[in-house]
Structure 1
């Protein structure tokens, strides 16, 4: 690290600071993406306030995407309103998941409640609800990690873990995987390409959250079926929760926060490229391992590659083969986005190479295990029953079903 230290002492920051969003800019940007998607994916022809709704949208609806489930059965059970079970009959639904069958309340009885009809009109609201829950869990990671390492001090523990990662990269038998160190990458930009580094700073600060939310919105609109969209959503959700557990149990300091003698520069903040998602109460600063920046981009890249149709002999029902030019464009984007993200997180000293590899591995594990989240469906049914809500039928893939 001596060479890195000596070079660092002679570096000067001479790039032009780029524009800075106000604190409310990014939340408004993300909210705008979500609201726009909610409107674009609304159920056409469905009215929230409809005098004839009981005739047109009853349990036995005539709309093809709202057919009643074959799993519905009738049974006597306790009334949620405290009525006598001997005189009250309610719908029950059989939910088969994880090699087991669960009997849960059928929430279709609440289909005419106005808050249910709002969700039926705007089904993307459910996706927004899921991600609010995910973000709430993320907020807890720093608090739990600080509690676990309160005696030793989480900052010291995270620094030790960060240095252990650097040592592993340099001296393990796998060091050949990264012939150019993170420090050398950043020094190259600092010496000759600071304006390009400014672009990377902005990319790190302002693209990750809005870009990921924007992709989720786009994929909800264009996915061939809701099952395909749900597989992506479950994969990303499981990726988050696995990463959250690692954040809690293995806090890791990113290179930019290591002591100055290691030669890394916090270029994002040095270039005044702060983001509300990167500081203060919105972020866990000691969550470098694994890299969710790269994990998200890798998952998104794989999904775009799937959407391109390249390598797929069979298409989904109703899906058409894309023109070669469009397929090639999607394939290029599928490779370019995670590659750009990898360059960004290394050049800005926000992650180690090992963080990116771990992020990709978590995504792969999550993809093959994502179906385990289906086991939570009975709990979801009970939650909707408690809220007196009927779960909306998604509009994803509806255009394919109507062909």
Structure 2
């Protein structure tokens, strides 16, 4: 019998896989940029592009307001004027890629210790992956920005001072150059001063002043335009009140404040954020977390700058290194939140509605403010730093059926998961579900052909009851109205309510139940993609009645918002049946009384009646929905074992019975 793989070999496999993913993502990003037409590539460099695609040295940097860098940054880019645009594109893209890799490697090396050898090895490719996926880096690739360079220089000086040439003048020179490229970096001067690196602080200021003066001497008109006319670049790029400006100034303008009132409030808020954030940064720097201190100071810079465009928000990604929470179950909340904010658009993070929409629109700013002023990062001296409260796990249990293989890929946690983390994952999961369902093939001829196949099979099996029952429902007004309301409401209301109940009262059951639901939904997405199917109401020539929308021109149907947002040809399998059957099974397992169990199993039967009566699904669609749910439970069972545990083994058990999962005490 072969011996199980050693931990070292698993680490090697994981390391190789992560580096492969990092290389593929980096190559894909480079290919996306290089495949763009020249006029859509590096738009921030358009100020220098002249006739025949050759860069020109003459003219103002700010002729078009597209370039948002400092005059010194413009001088740094001017030596490229001898290159043709096509050659510049290749050199610039791969040069930016190398900078991203260098930044990720420096950040991984600067992680606060002690770090295990396995964590140290895996941190580098994970950092590269996160950096390449982040919106600031993708924006930098597309625009041709230099915003990665200041972050890299500051990291070298603040987190790896020995590598940067010592903690004195050499580090100050690096940060001074970074400040000349991105003036908000000057906020690191008080950080250096308050942490005892006063020579570096003085050198930073002197270097910034010298390079800025050099730019004034070389391009006085552009320097006046940037520093005076546009108030340190505040009038360049998009309008200051656009959503692209994720700063306090931009937020105040977006909520309708203008003039002296806005300026005064902005200065007061900026001062409060700067003082609070820098005090926290100093504390964590003295605590032995220079990377976190750098990230917090960078987040302060994002918040208090007059403008903070997307390519300047890379500081926030560095805050992923902060540890939050005394429970191990809470450790992933902050990193996941940062990664989601830095990699996904606002409409993915939260629904587009008047209440949550503004939160998504200002998510980077809110995250930067949280990192700078609010998030209670742990101290290295905290007892929970390396010893968080462990998550209770169920002991491995034999399966009820010996012929069913139990893979045992992971142990079953018994405590309640972190609510914020669950909500974030549910939201992102639902967006992915909606996107894939909406992107599945919806060619009408193929979907109608599959519909005729389904009708033929049902006729052969003598289960083609849809037409007669649909016409019966359509002839009874109260039945039509009730079924239409049921179809549009209960599909989400009942599963969400059940998940909420399980989370509060049956935390261990919640984990395996939501895993089975997620697996079933994933299998359903495969079905939507592999077998596009027109529902009965969209089958021409068969006489079905669309009880909710009425007669339709099938060449140009109109179902309101659903016309654009939902794929109407994704009927197989029916998730109305799938989700309702999941509810019925879970209720039957956790309900204490027989009548409750029977009521739970009645729900999928009512749902089946509704989807057929409203002509939204076939009988075989329901069979498909039941199949994916059965497969979801089966896969979950194989991965984690039996779902129910003996109450006597769980903390806070209320009675020695395994009829239901308890609520662990204190959780």
Query: TM-score category by the smaller chain?
Result: 0.5 to 0.7
- Contact 1:300–1:334 at 8 Å: present in 2 too? yes
- Residues 329 and 140 (structure 1 numbering): CA distance in 2 closer, same or farther, change over 3 Å? same
- Contact 1:205–1:275 at 8 Å: present in 2 too? no
- The CA distance in 2 between the partners of 1:116 and 1:163, in whole Å, is 60
- Give the C-alpha shift of residue 91 in structure 1: 5.3
- Give the C-alpha shift of residue 234 in structure 1: 0.8
| TM-score, length of structure 2 as denominator length | 0.35
Q: How much is the aligned-residue C-alpha RMSD, in angstroms?
A: 3.7
Select the residue among 244, 247, 270 that pairs with 2:528: 247
- The CA distance in 2 between the partners of 1:156 and 1:348, in whole Å, is 22
1:400 aligns with 2:425: no
- Give the C-alpha shift of residue 284 in structure 1: 1.9
Q: Which runs of 5+ in 2 are unaligned?
A: 1-103, 120-125, 128-319, 327-333, 335-373, 378-388, 390-415, 552-557, 641-660
- The CA distance in 2 between the partners of 1:218 and 1:275, in whole Å, is 33
Select the residue among 367, 376, 380 that pairs with 2:633: 367
2:581 paired residue number: 298
1:89 aligns with 2:89: no
Aligned residues: 258
| TM-score, length of structure 1 as denominator length | 0.56
Superposed CA deviations along residues 89-128 of structure 1, whole A, max 9, x for unmatched, are 225899xxxxxxxxx99989443775578xx999322222
- Give the C-alpha shift of residue 295 in structure 1: 0.2
1:133 paired residue number: 428
Superposed CA deviations along residues 29-82 of structure 1, whole A, max 9, x for unmatched, are xxxxxxxxxxxxxxxxxxxxxxxxxxxxxxxxxxxxxxxxxxxxxxxxx98735
- Residues 275 and 132 (structure 1 numbering): CA distance in 2 closer, same or farther, change over 3 Å? farther
- The CA distance in 2 between the partners of 1:246 and 1:187, in whole Å, is 28
1:269 aligns with 2:549: yes
- The CA distance in 2 between the partners of 1:182 and 1:127, in whole Å, is 39
- Residues 280 and 124 (structure 1 numbering): CA distance in 2 closer, same or farther, change over 3 Å? farther
- Give the C-alpha shift of residue 222 in structure 1: 2.0
- Residues 161 and 199 (structure 1 numbering): CA distance in 2 closer, same or farther, change over 3 Å? same
1:218 paired residue number: 501
- Residues 137 and 373 (structure 1 numbering): CA distance in 2 closer, same or farther, change over 3 Å? farther
1:92-171 correspondence to structure 2 within 5 Å: 109-111=323-325, 114-115=374-375, 123-142=418-437, 144-146=439-441, 154-171=443-460
- Residues 398 and 89 (structure 1 numbering): CA distance in 2 closer, same or farther, change over 3 Å? farther
Select the residue among 594, 601, 622 that pairs with 1:328: 594
- Give the C-alpha shift of residue 201 in structure 1: 0.8
- Contact 2:438–2:565 at 8 Å: present in 1 too? no
Q: Which runs of 5+ in 1 are unaligned?
A: 1-77, 95-103, 309-321, 375-396
- Give the C-alpha shift of residue 129 in structure 1: 1.5
1:337 paired residue number: 603
- The CA distance in 2 between the partners of 1:80 and 1:364, in whole Å, is 47
- Contact 1:256–1:265 at 8 Å: present in 2 too? yes
- The CA distance in 2 between the partners of 1:142 and 1:402, in whole Å, is 40
- Give the C-alpha shift of residue 286 in structure 1: 0.9
- The CA distance in 2 between the partners of 1:127 and 1:247, in whole Å, is 26
1:278-289 correspondence to structure 2 within 5 Å: 279-289=562-572
- The CA distance in 2 between the partners of 1:160 and 1:244, in whole Å, is 20
- The CA distance in 1 between the partners of 2:448 and 2:550, in whole Å, is 21
3-state SS in 1 of match to 2:107: coil
- Residues 367 and 142 (structure 1 numbering): CA distance in 2 closer, same or farther, change over 3 Å? closer
- Bigger strand share: 1
- The CA distance in 2 between the partners of 1:336 and 1:367, in whole Å, is 19
- Residues 335 and 139 (structure 1 numbering): CA distance in 2 closer, same or farther, change over 3 Å? closer
- The CA distance in 2 between the partners of 1:116 and 1:346, in whole Å, is 53
Task: Point out which structure has higher relative CO (alpha carbons under 8 A, 6+ apart).
Answer: 1
1:257 paired residue number: 538
Q: Which has the larger radius of gyration?
A: 2
Select the residue among 501, 512, 516 that pairs with 1:235: 516
1:199 paired residue number: 482
